[in-house]
C-alpha cells in the first residue's frame, strides 16, 4: 500500500490489475501482479525513443513542442517575478528551454529518469537536468516555481513527493500540478477503456477533491483548479470512447507512438474523426466543472507565521 492505510475499497479489476480506493485519503491505487512488476528505470528506458528522444512521429512531435511553449507562457504569466523553476519529470526539456531562452529564467532545472530524454535535454538543449528521482535530489536554494505535469500518477510515493516539493519551494512560491482526473466523464462512462488508466505506467489516481486534500495537508493554498486541458482533454475523451465502442485497446494512440500499421486503424481513425469535435465541445462545456479529463491545480506555499 502506498499510503499505508489498510482500509480499502476495491473499485475496478482489469487485465491483472486491481484498483482500490483508500477510505481515508480517497486516493486510488493500482496493485500489480508481482511477476509483472518491473522497476521504474526499466519501464521508462523505452518511454522515449533513441537519440532524438521522440515519443511520436514528426508532426505530433511538432505539436508537442508548441504545447510546451504554451506551458512556458503559462508559467511565466502566473508568476511574472519568478526567476527559478524546477520541472519534475521534465520530458525532453522543451518547457525549461523556452523559459530560459524567451522568459529570462536564471535557473531552469529538471529531473528525468528516462535516459534518452535526459541525454537529449542535457546535450542538445544544454539544460541542467538530473537523471534521478526527485527524492534523491539535494538542491539549494529554493525555487520560485515548481511544475509537475502528468508525473504524480506514475509515482509510488506520492506523499513524499508533495512533502519534498514543499521543502524545495520558496515561501509563497507557485506549484503547478496536473494529473488525469479519475472522476472525468469518460472515466465514469468507459471505465476500463479510459485512455488515462494506462495501467502499464500509472500507479495512482486522483479526483479533484483527493488531490486538493493532499495539497492542503502539506500546507499549500489552492489558488485555482481546472479540469480542462487543450492538450489532453479532447484526445483522451475521443480515444476512450473509441476504445469503449470497439471494445479494444488504444490502437490509434499506439499507432501514433510506434507507427506500426494495423488494418483496424482505418475503422478506428474513422470513429476518431467523427467523435473528435463533439468531444472537444463536451470538454469545453465542462470547463469549470469537476468532470473534465485532467486535474490542473495552481497552489501557493503558505507563508510561515512569524
Which positions touch Zn ion (CB under 5 A)?
3, 5, 22, 24-25
Kindly state the smallest distance separating residue 164's Cβ from Zn ion, in Å.
18
Q: What are phi and psi of 8, to 5 degrees?
A: -120, 155
Kindly state the smallest distance separating residue 173's Cβ from Zn ion, in Å.
26
Q: Which is nearer to Zn ion, 5 or 258 (CB)?
A: 5
SS3 12: strand
Tell me how far apart the alpha carbons of residues 276 and 270 are, in angstroms, rounded to a whole number. 10
Q: Residue 53 belongs to what H/E stretch?
A: helix 50-53
* Residue 68 near residue 95 (C-beta atoms within 8 A): yes
Q: Which is nearer to Zn ion, 3 or 64 (CB)?
A: 3
| Cα-to-chain-centroid distance, residue 166 | 18
Kindly state the smallest distance separating residue 206's Cβ from Zn ion, in Å.
12
Q: Which is nearer to Zn ion, 30 or 240 (CB)?
A: 30
Kindly state the smallest distance separating residue 3's Cβ from Zn ion, in Å.
3
Q: Which is nearer to Zn ion, 120 or 218 (CB)?
A: 218
Closest to 149 (Cα-Cα) out of 295, 299, 306, 302: 295
Kindly state the smallest distance separating residue 25's Cβ from Zn ion, in Å.
3
Q: Which is nearer to Zn ion, 22 or 127 (CB)?
A: 22
- Count how many Cα atoms sit within 13 Å of the Cα of residue 250 in the half-sphere of its side chain: 21
Q: Which is nearer to Zn ion, 22 or 175 (CB)?
A: 22
Residue with cell 470538454: 283
Q: Which is nearer to Zn ion, 1 or 285 (CB)?
A: 1
Residue 120 DSSP one-character state: I
Kindly state the smallest distance separating residue 179's Cβ from Zn ion, in Å.
16
Kindly state the smallest distance separating residue 74's Cβ from Zn ion, in Å.
31
Q: Which is nearer to Zn ion, 22 or 275 (CB)?
A: 22
Tell me how far apart the alpha carbons of residues 56 and 70 are, in angstroms, rounded to a whole number. 19
Going 282 to 287 to 291 to 297, the CA torsion angle's sign is positive
Alpha-carbon separation of residue 252 from 107, 240, 296 (angstroms): 38, 11, 25
Kindly state the smallest distance separating residue 22's Cβ from Zn ion, in Å.
3
DSSP string, 175-221: EEEEEEBTTSHHHHHHGGG-GGG-TTT--EEB-HHHHHHHHHHTTEE
Amino acid at each position: 500500500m502506498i499510503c499505508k492505510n489498510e482500509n480499502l475499497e476495491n473499485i475496478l479489476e482489469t487485465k491483472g490489475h486491481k484498483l482500490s480506493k483508500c477510505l481515508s485519503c480517497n486516493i486510488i491505487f493500482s496493485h500489480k501482479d508481482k511477476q509483472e512488476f518491473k522497476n521504474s528505470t526499466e519501464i521508462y528506458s523505452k518511454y522515449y525513443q533513441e537519440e532524438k528522444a521522440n515519443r511520436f512521429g514528426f508532426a505530433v512531435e511538432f505539436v508537442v513542442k508548441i504545447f510546451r511553449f504554451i506551458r512556458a507562457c503559462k508559467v511565466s504569466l502566473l508568476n511574472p517575478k519568478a526567476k527559478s523553476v524546477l520541472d519534475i519529470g521534465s520530458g525532453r526539456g522543451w518547457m525549461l528551454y523556452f523559459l530560459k531562452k524567451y522568459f529570462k529564467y536564471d535557473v531552469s532545472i529538471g529531473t528525468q529518469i528516462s535516459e534518452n530524454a535526459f541525454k537529449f535535454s542535457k546535450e542538445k538543449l544544454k539544460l541542467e537536468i538530473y537523471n534521478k528521482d526527485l527524492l534523491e535530489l539535494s538542491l539549494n536554494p529554493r525555487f520560485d516555481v515548481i511544475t509537475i505535469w502528468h508525473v504524480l500518477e506514475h509515482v509510488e510515493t506520492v506523499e513524499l513527493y508533495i512533502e519534498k516539493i514543499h521543502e524545495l519551494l520558496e515561501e509563497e512560491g507557485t506549484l503547478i500540478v496536473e494529473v488525469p482526473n479519475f472522476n472525468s466523464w469518460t472515466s465514469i462512462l468507459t471505465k476500463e477503456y479510459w485512455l488515462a488508466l494506462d495501467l502499464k505506467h500509472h500507479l495512482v489516481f486522483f479526483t479533484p477533491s483527493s488531490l486538493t486534500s493532499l495539497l492542503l495537508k502539506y500546507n499549500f493554498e489552492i489558488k485555482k483548479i481546472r479540469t480542462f486541458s487543450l492538450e489532453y482533454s479532447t484526445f483522451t475523451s475521443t480515444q476512450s470512447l473509441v476504445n469503449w465502442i470497439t471494445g479494444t485497446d488504444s490502437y490509434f494512440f499506439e499507432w501514433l507512438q510506434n507507427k506500426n500499421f494495423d488494418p483496424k486503424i482505418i475503422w478506428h481513425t474513422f470513429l476518431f474523426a467523427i467523435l473528435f469535435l463533439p468531444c472537444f465541445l463536451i470538454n469545453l462545456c465542462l470547463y469549470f466543472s469537476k468532470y473534465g479529463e485532467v486535474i490542473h491545480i495552481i497552489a501557493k506555499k503558505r507563508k510561515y507565521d512569524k
